[in-house]
Structure 1
Amino acid sequence: MSRSPLGVLVIGAGAIADLHVAAVAADPRCVLAGFADVSADRARSAAHRNGGVPWTADVAEALTRPDVDACIVCTPNDTHEDLALRVAAAGKHLLLEKPLATTAEGAEAIVAAFARRDLVLAVAHSHRFYDYARTVHDEIAAGAVGRPTLVRLALLGGWIWPDWRTWVIDPVRSGGHALHNGVHLLDLVTWWIDSRPVSVYARGQRRTATELDVHDYLEMVVEYADGAVAICEMSRAHRPATLSHRDVVVQGTGGLLTMAWDGDSPLLWDEKGTHLLDPGVADGFAAQLGAWLDAVTAGDTRTPVSGEEAALAVALGVAAERSMVSGLPVEVS
């Protein structure tokens, strides 16, 4: 890169942007170059909270600034494709909030645009960077359970959305809950199993209220080319609203790995006995930013969550949404 530290523009100054900004502030390899948001008030407020950095409501103008080397996009899902293509055209590297896009075609267009310009594209599947997910992945990759045959992942929580006007419960803007939040689970189990997904069979419920336009409770079953099966359960409908419940089970040909909801330490059963694994503690957003910066500063377009992997996660989420409509398994294209 031409300069160090890297100038990072944050596009979209909503709640999730705060987590990315905190990661930027903690990494000496980058500096916050400012905010761009369609709401001038929101951009101004974010800039004021972060030391009076530049702000604008004009994304096009911000992308022409010479001190902007890269962007983090934290905007509603239906804007991702347009903004990502504009960032690529401006020659900037990108860390994009999940999902990559709301359609498989849009996701593929983004991946192609960054490949053409030899720019670094990373997608914020942040769960991959937390120690629980890394520990499960690393144990599977090391052969601790043999070949995975069945994975169950449950992430259950209460209502997190601010009110009934929020874009995330508008299926046109978010793509549906399977694409907005469920994509975390679909990405993780596919990463863990490391096989090609062939179909998704999903059902959803509107547990909070029948008036919801998205399903706030999801069950998704993914089948893979090697015969493995993943069962994903996702909820934003549990009570109390502060509930945060996670459950992991990985059955393989050579062992069993579990992670109970009330602790972060996984248990591994294999032929040598029972082992308690220590995943440690990490800031997933900081680790995610660090991995992106590693790629940018090294001039390496490969990232821990590649554009191709993120596009596959989009295809899985879209298939899940279609399955809930049809009531039938949907092939993953």
Structure 2
Amino acid sequence: MTNRTLRIAVVGAGYWGPNLARNFSASPDWDLAAICDLDEDRARQVSDQVGHVPVVPSLTELLAADDLDAIAIATPAKTHFPIAMQALAAGKHVVVEKPLADSGSNGQAMVLEAAARGLILMADHTYCYTPAVLKIRDLIAEGELGDILFIDSVRINLGLIQPDVDVFWDLAPHDLSILDFVLPGGLHPTAVAAHGADPLGAGRSCIGYLALPLESGAIAHVHVNWLSPTKIRQMVIGGTKRTLVWDDLNPQQRLSVYDRGVDLGKQAAGRSDRRDATISYRLGDTWSPALPEREALSTMASEFASSIRTGQPSRTDGEAGRRVLAVLEAATRSLSQSGSAVPLGDKEREMEAAR
């Protein structure tokens, strides 16, 4: 398997499926073997765009193919679990678009099934494979920002109000997966507090705010919104040394690193109150790292192939997907409790121990 081209089928020809099909078709690591969708006309349209690969309406028939190595799932979230479990049972590696599953228990079952069968389960957390986010991860790992103090993330636009999920489950997986990817050790908040609003009467939150205290003492805040007339995709990560600003909609300068911040001087001898500390403001240079231009999905496809060939987990493996699900489920519980903070640390440790 190390030297040969791998064969994959894309399951789902709706919104995201065509993007996956295009990238797997163009990848030197992959041979796109089929498009699978109950809607044959829609599947055929995607097939025509990627070299007229076979259209297979039956998932059972698709998975029966001995020469198929993997599938990429791009179907509604509630179908991710049954499709992935059927594929894993058939001995196929699986990559799933966000979110990994529709519940934490289903996500955990997928992780355990893949591990038991020695197969790769990967979450298609696409933003984690963008040059900007890969650079952010490197800068944090190299200590360029120092210890992380806060993270503010905003993802708002005049978006499609989903019929089956709220704005948290629709948009926040992007931001949560990025946090999980760039923070050393992954995303492990001690609690989740969610506040949502439904001013349209749509029956689900269309505007949402997440507050995530982190084990390090830092705090992350995520704002998602379907109703904003302006589109903003921005993340600010503040550290003890520097602060980074990522503006995904600014192709000329996606990343800016500011050597500016607040320093707390040493406290006077015998005093324990930080209010007595000397505060100074650091005003230094600003610089913008150079970033290569490449499509994130192309990098994701290569990562999936590498994981299969080496047997090593991908950087956005099933566990990463499960950590995002844990936060989303806690957010749902918090909403039902009028925004009360839902502890996460103990539950996460129990799940880790169970594995």
User: Superposition pairs for residues 121-200 of structure 1, below 5 Å?
Assistant: 121-160=121-160, 168-171=162-165, 176-194=166-184, 196-200=188-192
SS at match of 1:56: coil
Report the number of matched residues: 317
Structure-2 residue corresponding to 1:258: 245
Structure 1: how far apart are the matches of 2:286 and 2:170? 36
Structure-1 residue corresponding to 2:14: 14
Does the Cα contact within 8 Å between 1:102 and 1:179 map onto a contact in 2?
no
| Aligned equivalent of 2:336, options 306, 321, 325 | 325
Structure 1: how far apart are the matches of 2:319 and 2:81? 15
Does the Cα contact within 8 Å between 1:153 and 1:189 map onto a contact in 2?
no
Query: Structure 1, residues 148-199: CA drift from partner, whole Å, max 9, x if none?
Result: 01011112222246xxxxxx4213xxxx332232111122223333352221
Residue 3 (structure 1) shift: 7.5
Gap change, CA 1:70 and 1:3, over 3 Å in 2: farther
Residue identity matched to 1:122: M
TM-score where L is the length of structure 1: 0.89
Deviates more, 1:181-190 or 1:94-103: 181-190
Residue 35 of structure 2 corresponds to residue 35 of structure 1: yes
| Aligned equivalent of 2:197, options 205, 228, 231 | 205
Query: Structure 1, residues 40-73: CA drift from partner, whole Å, max 9, x if none?
Result: 3323333344333222221011100123111000
Query: Structure 1, residues 225-270: CA drift from partner, whole Å, max 9, x if none?
Result: 111110111122111xxx4312221111222222356441322316
Structure-2 residue corresponding to 1:288: 300
SS at match of 1:202: strand
Structure 2: how far apart are the matches of 1:3 and 1:92? 18
Structure 2: how far apart are the matches of 1:235 and 1:329? 21
Give the share of equivalent positions with the same residue, in percent. Answer: 23
Structure 2: how far apart are the matches of 1:153 and 1:11? 31
Residue 266 of structure 2 corresponds to residue 276 of structure 1: no
CA-based RMSD of the aligned residues comes to: 2.0
Which blocks of at least 5 consecutive residues in structure 1 are unaligned?
162-167
| Aligned equivalent of 2:215, options 217, 225, 237 | 225
SS at match of 2:75: coil
SS at match of 1:181: helix
Structure 1: how far apart are the matches of 2:313 and 2:191? 27
Deviates more, 1:27-36 or 1:108-117: 27-36
Gap change, CA 1:274 and 1:49, over 3 Å in 2: closer
Structure 2: how far apart are the matches of 1:254 and 1:5? 45
Structure-2 residue corresponding to 1:311: 322
Residue 15 (structure 1) shift: 1.7
Structure 2: how far apart are the matches of 1:214 and 1:269? 41
Does the Cα contact within 8 Å between 1:169 and 1:213 map onto a contact in 2?
no
Residue 35 (structure 1) shift: 1.4
Deviates more, 1:51-60 or 1:226-235: 51-60
Residue 2 (structure 1) shift: 8.1
SS at match of 1:72: strand
Deviates more, 1:279-288 or 1:93-102: 279-288
